[in-house]
Amino acid sequence: MKFKGFIRPDGSVGIRNHVLIMANARGASNLALLIARLVHGATVYVQPQEGGRDTADRQTIARTLIGAARNPNVGGVLVVGVKENGGYPEFDAANFVDAIAASGKPVETVFLNSSGGLQHALGEGMRKARALIQKASECEREEVGLGDLSVAVKCGYSDPTSGMSGNPVVGYLFDRIVEAGGTAMFSETTEVIGAEHILAKRFTDEGQRRKFLDAVARVEAQAKATGEDIRKINPIPANIQAGLTTLEEKSLGAIVKSGSMPIQGCVAYGEKPEGRGLYFMDAWMSSSALFLGFAAAGAVLTIFQVGGGRFPEDALMPSAQSGLVAPTLFMTGNPHAYENIHEEVDFTSGTVISEKEPLASAGDRLVREVLRCASGRLVKGEIMGVKEFPEMYLQGPCL
């Protein structure tokens, strides 16, 4: 159960080697984009606008940006900004630089006001980005174990196969990772409604169990406050068209992806767990936002387990590597969906239905697929010519 990964100065293990160019505030995102265009091999992000957001949402944005930069898949970071400070305190450049530098990885900065304007900042940024990329290119992979991984899963386009042959196979993988001493995360607070009593029993700490149940109650209250039957919102139409009838049914099939290990804690969107083991992230289920939250929490690989019963033939997958620095491996447990979308999907456990393959056998195949990907084999989504800018899970008003 070995793979070859990048051992970072803080001992964490990455499976990719990105150099990330990011702004400390939205107003400098265009500078980050321009610098990224001047070099080869940079990963860049345009973040949500922080202006007019409440403190909790600004903290979420800052935590997510810093977390993504600290992710073990990142071998160097260039932080760009208009100025070092003077905006909202969460976005003071020192907060970013200190937190990233604490992980031991190289971090450089460029500021418009101290470099003498845009044209000078571009030159300085280009020079620093090139140096970071060259330095990162010398990182070498070394042999490490399954327990060095942090992996996170989201299930989506759920259908009745999700709870039968897709999510249970992810649960098997999660059990192996946690047994080996690694970290595994799952999420989607709305989609534990109706199944929270089962998960709650698996929390080892009473305070964390309370936090989890409070999160579920908060989201259900938000759902009721819409005045709608949740079934008009979630399950989404594709779930219902594929045979899922209620949110409770969807939830009961969804939680199986967590496996069977004790749950150590409940973290916020983009919050890194304090320890290793299995964690729940209190977050929005969106494939446009959740994978970035996982990456910010330290996940080096994300899995998108799709039912996909109603996907059209050869469909483009619903999110294009929105983990920013953490690749997304697509899998399905639906044999019919796999026939339709095998060009886009990396792994199928639809064989559990079509060929009566035992879950453990499909699970062992998934462990091997994950190790291959962790050693550097690109997933199909990484080879596509698009990479989207993820959203974030922000909950406050826009004022």
Residues that bind other proteins (CB under 8 A): 159-161, 163-164, 190, 193-195, 198, 220, 223-231, 234, 240, 242-243, 245-249, 252-253, 309, 334, 336, 353
Q: How far apart are CA 338 and CA 314, in angstroms?
A: 9
Could you tell me if 281 and 294 are in contact, meaning their C-beta atoms sit under 8 angstroms apart? yes
Strand 142-145 and strand 2-7: the pairing is antiparallel
The distance of closest approach from Cβ of residue 311 to other proteins in the complex, given in angstroms and rounded to an integer, is: 13
Our CB check for other proteins shows the closer of 144 and 155 to be 155
Give the residue with the Cβ less far from other proteins, 54 or 248.
Answer: 248
Using CA atoms, how far residue 206 sits from 200, 263, 281, 324, 344, in Å, is 9, 11, 17, 34, 42
CB of 235 to other proteins, least distance (A): 9
Q: In what order do the strands lie in the sheet with 347-348?
A: 263-268, 277-282, 183-186, 150-156, 301-306, 328-332, 347-348
Question: Cβ of residue 342: shortest distance to other proteins, in angstroms?
Answer: 18
Q: How many CB atoms lie within 10 A of CB 262?
A: 12
CB closer to other proteins out of 145 and 243: 243
Beta carbon nearer to other proteins, 264 or 332: 332
Q: How far is the CB of 309 from other proteins (least distance, A)?
A: 6
Q: How far is the CB of 356 from other proteins (least distance, A)?
A: 10
Give the separation between CA 300 and CA 71, rounded to whole angstroms: 7
In sequence order, what are the residues at sequence separation of 6 or more whose Cβ sits closer than 8 angstroms to the Cβ of residue 115? 121, 124
Minimum distance of other proteins from residue 160's CB (angstroms): 4
Kindly tell me which of 161 and 183 has the beta carbon lying closer to other proteins.
161
- Residue 97 CB partners (closer than 8 Å, separation 6+): 79, 107, 109
Closer Cβ to other proteins, 78 or 216, answer by number: 216
